[in-house]
Structure 1
Amino acid sequence: MRKTILKIHPKDNVLVALVDLPAGELISHDTGTVTTIDPIQAKHKLAINDIEVGDSIYMYGVLVGKAQARIPAGGLLTTANVVHAANSNLTESKQTSGWQQPDVSAWQNRTFKGYHRADGSVGTANYWLVIPMVFCENRNIEVLQESLLRPLGYGRKKVYETKAQQLINKVKSGGSIEEVLYTEIESGDTAGLESKVFPNVDGIKFLSHTGGCGGIRQDAETLCGLLAGYITHPNVAGATVLSLGCQNAQVSILQREIEKRSPGFSKPLYILDQQTIGKESDMIEQALRQTLAGLIQANQVSRQPAPLSKITIGLECGGSDGFSGISANPAIGYTSDLLVALGGSVILAEFPELCGVEQNLIDRCVEEEDANRFVHLVRTYAQRAEEVGSGFDMNPSPGNIKDGLITDAIKSAGAAKKGGTSPVVNVLDYPEKVTKPGLNLLCTPGNDVESTTAEVGSGANIVLFTTGLGTPTGNPITPVVKIATNTNLYNKMSDIMDLNTGTIIEGEETIEEAGSRILDYVIQVASGEVEVSAVRHGQDDFIPWKRGVSL
């Protein structure tokens, strides 16, 4: 029989509704019963006992809010009666060596088929990059994109262009507004695409951006570090770089950042400086010639078996709901623990969404130096947000709040579940590279695309992205696996979802079973056997973080 409520931790004084509950419903829980005072929608919370003004509210065993109005037993928690509160009394690390590794015997001898690089890393894909050093080169990037994609067989299917043409023809023939709005149109034509000239190359990706000059010099240096992370990434075979010449983001900075991440870097890399070359036409011709030469080299690499320890997973959530912290997030947390036990690497980012659970992560740091760095990064980030009149408490979006995440601490306590239970082996500041197997903390915003962009720049060759409301976010070079927290979403947005963990809410699957299933899927994606929805739709989101306040 399906459960209707969940008490996440023995210390909690609220329950999570797993289904819609009418007012007057008698609810049994582990320490007694309570009758609902208000209708409680699924994903929202109700008080177990009377909560008076100023009383602390606990979920996941941690402080997540304070009552600003009396909440009777069985009453609904809302933004009107609860305000954000979180533990801010951080102490030094109490890390112990008692982590209980999960049983990984089922995966011990498993491999995936990846692209082996000279530096020892292994890619889950094989892309060529075309990158501007500065926004002034974005038009040249677009020219190259238009010139290369379709002739090389990497163009997108013209499904919507064909549908649009049918509607335009309707308008030209004098069709009415009603006919345009409601007349049935045929499915789009997908014919006319060229076959791939380079079968071992998954595509050419063009990383347009708005940075590289203006702003502050640190922004340009950080951008160079991020771009170096993509150029040296195991999913990248090589790159064509376009520079204007006079921008803050100088090629010399990029080359220094590349060497820092990959000493003895040996991938094909072509750098063109427009102010040195002169005519745009000459620069474009050189870029075309060199890119095609690079693609010939990239095509010589094929997938070969590799140990699972060569997988680095980025953990991300976006469009979160009240089920995120009890289904999808803990499920990929278990996946994370499995991969760590197998010698792989995991990245937990989104520092504004770790508010209230910092002490747990501090206690999990293997090295005191990392614990101290984590505290410094979090406090500096929070201070900068407050200085511009914001704060971590403003992190939950309208969609989060509507679906039960009414304080940042509630959202954060559930978001942190993505990191599982393993020790923290390293704390990184954006855009540093992952160099240690195990759980790594990376300072990024909570913004979905900025954070995903950063995780990939730090080395993630697979990203697990949980969502309760639905988001199409992807990445140019790394497969982003979309995991629904609830079955309604999975069915409603089946075209952009890859996996469903609503089975946990419905009692059909345990967190451990779902996490194991996700790892099996990761191996398939890493081997190129499954194309995730974000890749299929060409969802190539890329937004560098300028280190300003972004929640």
Structure 2
Amino acid sequence: MDNLNPQDIKIHVVAKSVTPRGEPIALNEVAVLLNPHDDVAIARRPLGKGVILQLPAESGKTERVEVKQRIPSGHKVALHNIEQGQTVRRYGSIIGFATQPIRAGEHVHSHNLAVGELHQEYEYSVDVQPLEFVPPEQQRTFMGYRRPDGRAGTRNYIAIIGSVNCSASTVRFIERRFTPEVLRDYPNIDGVIGLTHKSGCGMRIGGAAVEQLQRVLAGMALNPNIGAYLLVGLGCESNQIQEMIANMELEHGKRGQWKQPLFLTIQENHGIATTVEEAVRVISKLLPEVNDVKREPIPISELTVALQCGGSDGWSGITANPALGYCVDELVRQGGTAVLSETPEIYGAEHLLLRRARNREVGEQFVGLIRWWEHYTAINDMEMDNNPAPGNKLGGLTTIYEKSLGALAKGGSTPLNAVYKYAEPITEHGFVFMDTPGYDPVSVTGQVAGGANIIVFTTGRGSCFGYKPAPSIKIASNNTLYENLTSDMDINAGVILDGFSAQEVGNRILDEIIAVASGKQSKSEAQGVGEEEFAPWILGATM
């Protein structure tokens, strides 16, 4: 059963009885069994000692299990006795190994479950199926901004991009001059945003860290949601602006750029105050030009959706992520692009992703990422099971294997077409992967620098995430979270536990993507969240 993809689970409603393919089964409507061969069920609500779970005969286990201790909602209860060292399965796949004997009815969590050696044998491309694309005349559209180079944006920002932390305050001073009152005469501009960061110097010139930072900054400048940009530096930093322009091919006529890049340095402009005034003059001249771009109908095949999950819980892999996976499958059928990331949060589930790789080369690229992360964590005195975080564990997730199996579900079921480095330009359509850390702001920064023009972010604990220049749509995994954070959550996937199908919620997510891409503000966007979340991945030593 190791080869059962959790995506197979997403297509089924939580049922009251077992079905031939092993769809989720509600046990007296108080717990959910995801696969008849699983060793655990998930408590739908807190279970008290003495509650009896009636198991389906098809599970091959004792038909009745008495709960031995309180089980919190979203947490796991053992369905039979498990010996120390024995594997424990959820989603039909291994999520860990028992660290002590576990009795039927007991709570299964970090006190008695841990990661171990999986010894997985990888199979490449065995689950790849040909796709039936939606005919062009039947493709859905959104109201977006068509750029001169042909790309499509969902927003229309002017960006002030700092080359180094030394220019960060100056960037903020410039940004503050463009108040809502100043921008009132430019209704087609979503704002003037400042993108600042904590790096740009103390780095080896010509090294990997500088190259990656330049890739991020250039990618943000070229994101289709940016109508124009101004680079602002100090002047003496390791990350020299003119070198970045040349290295990242930002010159006129390259990388789809349609204008010569504008830049200023504080030292060449005689200090902060005069640099601010010059920047205000430059941007003021850009405002009418950027405002002239108006929304028009564009096929959703030109959407590039960044997929994220943060603050996951025990329900994320049952409700929100599978529903998003349904949405991704439909987006890909429409010719669009979805970008899965957070490499450390695929660890333990990579065998399922490799089975979907378009070819062996793509699969081996992904395996190379896994091996790099194993090395990277080891030399930094960490381990891959540093994940899940405390909040994830409170929500019911125990090991990185378990978290990864649920996280993978948001990637749908279509072939994996390409694997990209962090912030590398995304050129393939369909389902693709970008190497990023699991930390949400750093991960999203890479995806948006790669070209993503909208974000869908699932959460079980309540990550109130926003991002500029790409709007972020948040999906709650459970009803309690949605009710507690209605001002932050855009869609409630918890209704799947009430009988709605993952497909219905997935269609709702796609409708919301189209609405937000067309100008509707997401909940985080309406609150102005998004600039402080720009966080490039900083590699190596700071000198």
TM-score relative to the length of structure 1: 0.88
- Residue type of the partner of 2:308? E
Contact 2:129–2:414, Cα closer than 8 Å, also in 1 = no
Q: 1:152 aligns with which of 164, 182, 192?
A: 182
Q: Partner of 2:293: helix, strand, or coil?
A: coil
Q: Partner of 1:481: helix, strand, or coil?
A: strand
Q: Which residue of 2 aligns with 1:345?
A: 337
Tell me the distance in 2 between the aligned counterparts of 1:104 and 1:120.
Answer: 22
Q: Partner of 1:277: helix, strand, or coil?
A: coil
| Cα distance, 1:243 vs structure 2 | 1.7
404-413 or 384-393, larger mean C-alpha shift: 384-393
Identity within the alignment, % = 35
Runs of at least 5 residues in structure 1 that lack an aligned partner in the other structure? 154-195
Tell me the distance in 2 between the aligned counterparts of 1:91 and 1:479.
Answer: 36
| Cα distance, 1:383 vs structure 2 | 1.5
Aligned in 2, Cα 1:107/1:214: closer, same or farther, shift over 3 Å?
farther
Q: 2:201 aligns with which of 213, 219, 235?
A: 213
Aligned in 2, Cα 1:106/1:468: closer, same or farther, shift over 3 Å?
farther
- Residue type of the partner of 2:402? I
Q: Partner of 1:275: helix, strand, or coil?
A: coil
- Residue type of the partner of 2:220? Y
Q: Partner of 2:489: helix, strand, or coil?
A: coil
Q: Which residue of 2 aligns with 1:524?
A: 515
- 1:119-144, Cα deviation, whole Å (9 max, x unpaired): 22100110000011111111211211
Contact 2:66–2:104, Cα closer than 8 Å, also in 1 = yes
Alignment of 1:164-243 (within 5 A): 196-216=184-204, 217-243=207-233
- 1:508-549, Cα deviation, whole Å (9 max, x unpaired): x10111101110111111111x21111111111111111359
Tell me the distance in 1 between the aligned counterparts of 2:272 and 2:129.
Answer: 61
Q: Which residue of 1 aligns with 2:502?
A: 511
| Cα distance, 1:280 vs structure 2 | 3.2
Q: 2:111 aligns with which of 66, 75, 80?
A: 80
Q: 1:116 aligns with which of 146, 149, 166?
A: 146
Aligned in 2, Cα 1:512/1:73: closer, same or farther, shift over 3 Å?
same
Q: Partner of 1:210: helix, strand, or coil?
A: coil
Q: Which residue of 2 aligns with 1:18?
A: 44
Tell me the distance in 2 between the aligned counterparts of 1:331 and 1:272.
Answer: 46
| Cα distance, 1:33 vs structure 2 | 2.7
Tell me the distance in 1 between the aligned counterparts of 2:510 and 2:366.
Answer: 28
- 1:155-209, Cα deviation, whole Å (9 max, x unpaired): xxxxxxxxxxxxxxxxxxxxxxxxxxxxxxxxxxxxxxxxx22110001110111
Q: Which residue of 1 aligns with 2:9?
A: none
Q: Which residue of 2 aligns with 1:444?
A: 436
Aligned in 2, Cα 1:382/1:247: closer, same or farther, shift over 3 Å?
same
Tell me the distance in 1 between the aligned counterparts of 2:434 and 2:360.
Answer: 16
Tell me the distance in 2 between the aligned counterparts of 1:499 and 1:86.
Answer: 38
Q: Partner of 1:152: helix, strand, or coil?
A: helix
Q: Which residue of 1 aligns with 2:102?
A: 71
| Cα distance, 1:91 vs structure 2 | 2.6
Tell me the distance in 1 between the aligned counterparts of 2:77 and 2:380.
Answer: 34
Contact 1:237–1:268, Cα closer than 8 Å, also in 2 = no
| Cα distance, 1:263 vs structure 2 | 2.4
Alignment of 1:144-543 (within 5 A): 144-153=174-183, 196-216=184-204, 217-255=207-245, 256-259=247-250, 263-267=255-259, 269-507=261-499, 509-528=500-519, 530-540=520-530, 541-543=533-535
Aligned in 2, Cα 1:539/1:258: closer, same or farther, shift over 3 Å?
farther
How many residues end up aligned between the 2 structures?
504
- Residue type of the partner of 1:122? A
Q: Partner of 1:40: helix, strand, or coil?
A: coil
| Cα distance, 1:355 vs structure 2 | 1.1
Q: Partner of 1:460: helix, strand, or coil?
A: coil
| Cα distance, 1:77 vs structure 2 | 0.4
Q: Which residue of 1 aligns with 2:8?
A: none
Tell me the distance in 1 between the aligned counterparts of 2:194 and 2:119.
Answer: 42
Tell me the distance in 2 between the aligned counterparts of 1:151 and 1:414.
Answer: 46
Runs of at least 5 residues in structure 2 that lack an aligned partner in the other structure? 1-15, 17-25
- 1:358-396, Cα deviation, whole Å (9 max, x unpaired): 111112111222111111111111211022221111111
Contact 1:238–1:268, Cα closer than 8 Å, also in 2 = no
